[in-house]
Structure formats: structure tokens, C-alpha cells
Structure 1
Amino acid sequence: MRGPTSPVIPKEIASHVLEGVELCDGILRNLFLCLEINVIEPFCQDEIVLDRQCAEKRDKEIRERMQDM
């Protein structure tokens, strides 16, 4: 497993850039819960995929908003 995406958004990003962006907190929480319950990663593939998709979408939105500034 490559590991879950980072839930930390740098403090340097202004709050108005993050407004309305899905931060993936709930999805990441579900992934960690799945890993805790199942102990091994193969049982959490759906959660891993959802977390990766959400993080990619979030990062893309943040990059676009920062370029528009």
C-alpha cells in the first residue's frame, strides 16, 4: 500500500481558496476505520480508491483556484 493521502492542507492556503472544496475528511476517516477493523489493506480497496479520487479532485481544484489568483 502506498499509504493514504495527506489530510493536511497547508496553512499558507487562504480560506477563500478552500471554500466549497471537498477536503475528503470523511472519506479518509472511513479508510482509517476500515484499516483498523480489517487490520490488512486488501479488504479496504474501495476506501483506498475513493480516498485517492477525492484527493486528486481536491488537489486539482485547489491548484486551479490558486492559478486564477
Structure 2
Amino acid sequence: MSNYGYARHFKFLKQSKVLLPDARVSNKFEEIAAKHYEMIKQNIFQNQQLTQLRDWLLPMLMNGQVSIK
């Protein structure tokens, strides 16, 4: 297995043509995508908080220190 990473594919990339959108299209995409990335970031943060809460609460539920009504 090669340890050159992407360098081994660079020769193919150099031979390829890449289309770039104009600034208007690029800015519109960023405007739409930024909202989704922010939602993803918030969901990741909330999942971390819920995981911590579960890890704290589950042992107490299992040994009877707390119960659910």
C-alpha cells in the first residue's frame, strides 16, 4: 500500500478540466449550505450533551437510585 496519499493521483488531476461556478452561483450555494452546516453542528453538540446525560443517568437507573414515574 502506498503512503503517498493523494499525490499518486495528482497526475490525473493535472490532466483533468475542472469547472468552477461563477461568483453568484458560488455565493448562493454558500448561503444555502451554511444554514445546513450550522444545523449539523448544533445536532452534533446536542448529541454530545445527550450522550453525557445518558451516561450519567443510566447507571443510577440500573441500580435503583432513581426511578421513572
Range into which the TM-score falls when normalised by the shorter chain: 0.3 to 0.5
The higher relative CO (CA closer than 8 Å, separation ≥ 6) is in 1
As a proportion of its length, which structure holds more helix? 2
- Max Rg structure: 2
